[in-house]
Chain A
Amino acid sequence: AAGVIQSPRHLIKEKRETATLKCYPIPRHDTVYWYQQGPGQDPQFLISFYEKMQSDKGSIPDRFSAQQFSDYHSELNMSSLELGDSALYFCASTISGVNEQFFGPGTRLTVL
C-alpha cells in the first residue's frame, strides 16, 4: 500500500540558510500534519492543513511557513535556520473524518 512520502530524507544546511521540506500524503488523504522531533525529544506538532487551508497551528516558529497545494502535497519552508532547528521532521496524513494519522519516514535536517 502507498505510504506517506517525504523528501529529501536527509538535508544538511548552514546557519541562516533556508530549507524546503516536502510531504506527499497517501492518495486521497486530504489532511496533512507536520511534526518536529528534536534529538532525544518527543515529536511536537507544528502545523496542519485540511483541503489546502491551514487547520491548526502548534509550536511553529515565525521563521517557518507551510502550505498545502492542489494535489494535497505540502511543503514546509524554513528560513534563517538555526542550530536548534536540527531535528527529524515528520509529516503525517489522514482523511478528514478518520482519526488515525499515517506517518512518513521523516526528513532529518542538520544545521551546521
Chain B
Amino acid sequence: AQSVSQHNHHVILSEAASLELGCNYSYGGTVNLFWYVQYPGQHLQLLLKYFSGDPLVKGIKGFEAEFIKSKFSFNLRKPSVQWSDTAEYFCASQPGRRALTFGSGTRLQVQP
C-alpha cells in the first residue's frame, strides 16, 4: 500500500522566514502529487499539483514544490511566509486516477 510521510508535524516561523515542508511518498509507479492547505475550520484547498513534466511546480500564493523522483520526495517551499499562511498543510499522492492518500499534515504557525 502506498503511504505519504510528512516529517514536520508542527513548524513555527516568523514572518518573512523561508519555508520548506518535507513530503515523501512510497508508491513506486507513476504517481500524481499534490499539496493542499487547510485553514482553521475550512475545507481543503489545492496549492499545487504535479502530474508530469517540469519537476518544479508553482502554485498559488507564492508556493512551489519540487518533485525529485530519485528521492521519492515532493517538498513544499515558500521564500517568505506571511502570517496568513498559518494553516495545516497536507501532501497527497495519487496512483493513476484513484483516491488520494494523504500525509499526516504539518501545522504551520507564522508569528507576526
| Cβ contacts under 8 Å, A41 to chain B | 104
Q: Which B27-62 residues have C-beta < 8 A from chain A?
A: 32, 34, 36, 42-46, 49, 51
A105 in contact with B100 given A99-B94, A100-B49 (CB within 8 Å)? no
Number of interface residues of A (CB under 8 A): 24
Determine if B43 and A56 form an interchain contact, defined as CB atoms under 8 angstroms apart.
Answer: no
Q: Is the Cβ of B105 less than 8 Å from the Cβ of A42?
A: yes
Which A residues touch B32, using CB under 8 A?
99
Is there an interface contact between A100 and B100, defined as CB atoms closer than 8 Å? no
Contact, CB under 8 Å: A56 / B102: no
Is B71's beta carbon under 8 Å from chain A? no
Q: How far is the CB of B102 from chain A (nearest CB, A)?
A: 4
Complex-state Cα separation, A99 to B49, whole angstroms: 10
Interface residues of chain A, those whose CB is within 8 Å of chain B, are: 33, 35, 41-45, 48, 56, 58, 90, 92, 94, 96-106
List 20 additional A-B contacts (Cβ < 8 Å) besides A43-B102, A99-B51, A105-B42.
Answer: A33-B99, A35-B99, A35-B100, A42-B90, A42-B103, A42-B104, A43-B44, A43-B90, A43-B100, A45-B100, A48-B98, A58-B99, A96-B97, A98-B97, A99-B97, A101-B100, A102-B46, A103-B44, A103-B45, A105-B43
23 contacts between A and B (CB under 8 A): A33-B100, A42-B90, A42-B104, A42-B105, A43-B100, A43-B102, A45-B99, A45-B101, A48-B98, A56-B98, A58-B99, A90-B44, A92-B100, A96-B97, A99-B32, A99-B49, A99-B51, A99-B97, A100-B34, A103-B44, A103-B45, A103-B46, A106-B43
